[in-house]
Chain A
């Protein structure tokens, strides 16, 4: 009972969302009748509502949407022109559909409002059939029509009663209804039975309020959409107290909370980084202990908080899976097949927004499996399979992804049939069809309006369902994988990321820039010698074990300035997406880090190869690589990695090619340095403080061969400067010569620690300095 209730609620929330969108689309369509995309999306709404309502046994709603679907389908295929007259009928039917949904929300079934759909169905049929004889579809509403019309008779009777009599009647019906509720609770399968008394009660209530039952709609519309659908007013009061344990929270608030946590995680990362720096500088100081405690407790709490907030958004996938056993049962009855549904892994949790999006696609996939996949009993027997068809629905975690697998043991997909169908419909050319692999042919089922079904049934065959699947999964950045064998069955795998906001990434360096590659796409990293890279037809490749991998340099893709000469070895990050693989050559591997995805904003939206940005522990912005786009971009790059890596090394021959940078705040000292080096004949640049020197090095305007550094300087002292310079991988071996009047042993020690290669104390003889410089630049 509770499950049904939950499903019903979900259905209503979804249906109202869809209708809202439908209204907008229809208005647009009127001014733009040839927009196929728009028609397709309207059609999908009708299709989805039909699917869910038939599963919930709302026959009137199903009948109505089925007729609408017929008309829209014709229009979609261009067999029917959407004249204003046709639009009038379509809009009217949508209004009716809304009234039915409101009735369902308020009373739990669609018979209560007494809405008569026979007339509108007839008119829809006339439109869709032209003058041809009514098809099977018409038979349905005829069956249903007595129910609503008799309802209507009841209503008019009630509305003729006096107020007093009405009151009494309400009283009587309320009692009856309560009794009914009680029974319903006892007997969980009696949903349909309950529907009988409800209509009279509802319509009476309506007539009491508004005299005519149809006018009840606007009032109903104003009620909260979360209203407990199946329960009437008294029942609602009873259940209210029991529901207090959970609170419904707007998703927007949770999203906001998630954003704030994201900020906090960034702040924490930053704090940790600063602590490391402070620890290095003030080792042994007392306050460090205290700081350490604070930092670690904040970092712990932040991590817990992050997990807790993420958990509030996690739901078990059972919420979606629960509705399928019933659906499959009903479908198997309807289709006259024996089908068993096996569910496993329903406790797997994933983000709420994803749970919501995944419902629709699964409905369509399972309906397809039932209708087209599983054969009827006789065929199965003839093929030596058990008469009972089996559909397996499986969910499990795979790294940062959740995989949902739908397996059936039916007749499978025939790639040749799909190819010929697609050619027939003009979606692809013969040539394209011939070049297609079977896997690519299977992917054709996701194109709109391709259906291999011979008959359009109430269940499927219009070729729209799988389009819904693809659209929704793509929205979630998911991957669909179809595998099938004729006669054996079909496996459809949906691979969906767990959350969308915080991901694990591999940080890599390309020259002096850093990029984050989503770890989910990283298959492995390898370190290779440069001479293992070969060129085939202008493409760089690497033999990795038993396969050939194409290679591309990250810095070529993103046009990073080449400043750093690579060594004999380089790193390759092997990335994979669906079935393609690519080796990305990077200069450094920084490591794995949890990153918060931030948008680059409207201004920089949609830059090819960049999926977003994140803020690292040091406060800098790091760009996140869009793996799919990267693979595309890589195709256009034809740089010979080996040749260009070897060419970068520029040779210096004469002393005047060499450049020494003298950093000192005193102009006189700089002059002395300059004079001392004159005999060598090198070029000397000057900087008056650490900051200036660092900027000169960073700008890479000159290729500097040695730096003379004074220790005491304004803005940035010599130790800091040396430390900063050593952070750059290209300056790992640059000679840094400290020239200072600080003579104590501890000063010398600090000099070595900060990365100085030589330590000269003032005063010094010019000859000494000269010899030290000569030695260091090897002249």
Chain B
């Protein structure tokens, strides 16, 4: 545990120490896991991240829309990213979270398997989406290369767009 903490602290220190002149080129993301892959969305598009709460099913909508839930008095749609990305459904675990993302005129909650971490990545390290991705068509902003793995960066506006 303390090892992990140290790592995080070190990372934060690194981030602070990094030269600030290239601030514009650094994108801040929040990473999360769905299925086996790591995804990320820009940190500024996230309104909040909450633990799973009860939701109400809405009739005659695609299956990936689980329903609506009550976020302190607002009624917000809940979208299952697993099912949206055509993956097999999974059970709710201790790590499951709802990420509430906010767009220009829409807000929605997305179910993810677990959070990873806040990520800073240089925009030069983000490549265009590979053409082979089909299920997530149009949803991918780019692929972020990191030292140990790669990230799929999602387009929030596209995620929040009604497509049925």
Contact = CB atoms under 8 A, between A and B. Distances in A.
A559 B73 contact: no
Contacts of A608: 60
B59 A558 contact: yes
**Residue of B55, B74, B75 most packed against chain A (CB within 10 A):** B75
A690 interface: no
Interface stretch (A155-163, A173-181, A609-617, A702-710): A609-617
Given A263-B73, A601-B76, A623 B60 contact: no
A124 interface: no
**Residue of A601, A608, A613 most packed against chain B (CB within 10 A):** A601
B68 A604 contact: yes
A603 B160 contact: yes
Given A602-B162, A604-B77, A607-B58, A620 B70 contact: yes
A601 B106 contact: yes
A620 B54 contact: yes
B68 A600 contact: yes
Interface string B73-113: 11111000000000000000000000000000111100000
A384 to B, nearest CB: 59
A558 B61 CA distance: 10
Given A604-B61, A610-B59, A621 B75 contact: yes
B69 interface: yes
**Residue of A602, A605, A609 most packed against chain B (CB within 10 A):** A602
B56 A513 contact: yes
A394 B133 CA distance: 66
B61 A600 contact: no
A598 interface: yes
A604 B60 contact: no
Contacts of B106: 601-603
B73 A266 contact: yes
A600 B77 contact: yes
B11 interface: no
B146 interface: no
Contacts of B56: 513, 613, 620-623
A604 B107 CA distance: 11
B75 to A, nearest CB: 5
Given A619-B70, A621-B68, A598 B75 contact: yes
A620 B77 CA distance: 13
Interface string B32-72: 00000000000000000000001111111100010111100
Contacts of B108: 601, 603
Interface in A257-274: 263, 266-267
* Count class of interface residues, chain B: 20 to 34
Nearest to B160: A603
Contact of B70 (A558, A559, A560, A621): A621
Contacts of A457: none
**Residue of B58, B59, B73, B106 most packed against chain A (CB within 10 A):** B59
Nearest to A555: B59
A610 B65 CA distance: 15
A603 B75 contact: no
Contacts of A607: 58-61
Given A602-B106, A608-B60, A621 B73 contact: no
Nearest to B107: A601
A570 interface: no
Interface string A574-612: 000000000000000000000000111111110111100
A559 B59 contact: yes
A513 B57 contact: yes
B83 to A, nearest CB: 16
A603 B162 contact: yes
Contacts of A619: 54, 70
B74 A598 contact: yes
**Residue of A266, A598, A621 most packed against chain B (CB within 10 A):** A621
**Residue of A513, A559, A623 most packed against chain B (CB within 10 A):** A623
A598 B72 CA distance: 13
Interface string A616-633: 000111110000000000
Contact of B75 (A267, A557, A609, A615): A615
Given A604-B65, A621-B55, A621-B70, A609 B77 contact: no
Contacts of B58: 600, 604, 607, 610, 623
A619 B107 CA distance: 19
**Residue of B55, B57, B61, B68 most packed against chain A (CB within 10 A):** B68
Nearest to A558: B59
Contacts of A623: 56, 58-59, 68
Interface in A618-668: 619-623
A704 B58 CA distance: 27
A560 B60 CA distance: 10
Nearest to B163: A603
Interface in A212-266: 263, 266
Contacts of B160: 603
A28 to B, nearest CB: 23
A621 B60 contact: no
A263 B57 CA distance: 22
A598 B76 CA distance: 10
A117 B68 CA distance: 59
A158 B17 CA distance: 77
A623 B55 CA distance: 11
Given A559-B60, A609-B60, A603 B73 contact: no
A557 to B, nearest CB: 8
Contacts of A267: 73
A601 B69 CA distance: 12
A267 B72 CA distance: 9
A557 B162 CA distance: 23
Contact of A603 (B55, B57, B69, B77): B77
Interface of A: 263, 266-267, 513, 557-560, 598-605, 607-610, 613, 615, 619-623
5 contacts: A600-B68, A609-B59, A620-B56, A621-B56, A621-B75
Given A610-B58, A610-B59, 8 more contacts: A513-B56, A560-B59, A600-B77, A604-B61, A619-B54, A619-B70, A621-B75, A622-B56
Interface of B: 54-61, 65, 67-70, 73-77, 105-108, 160, 162
What are the 3 A-B residue pairs with the smallest beta carbon separation, nearest first? Answer: A558-B59, A621-B56, A613-B75
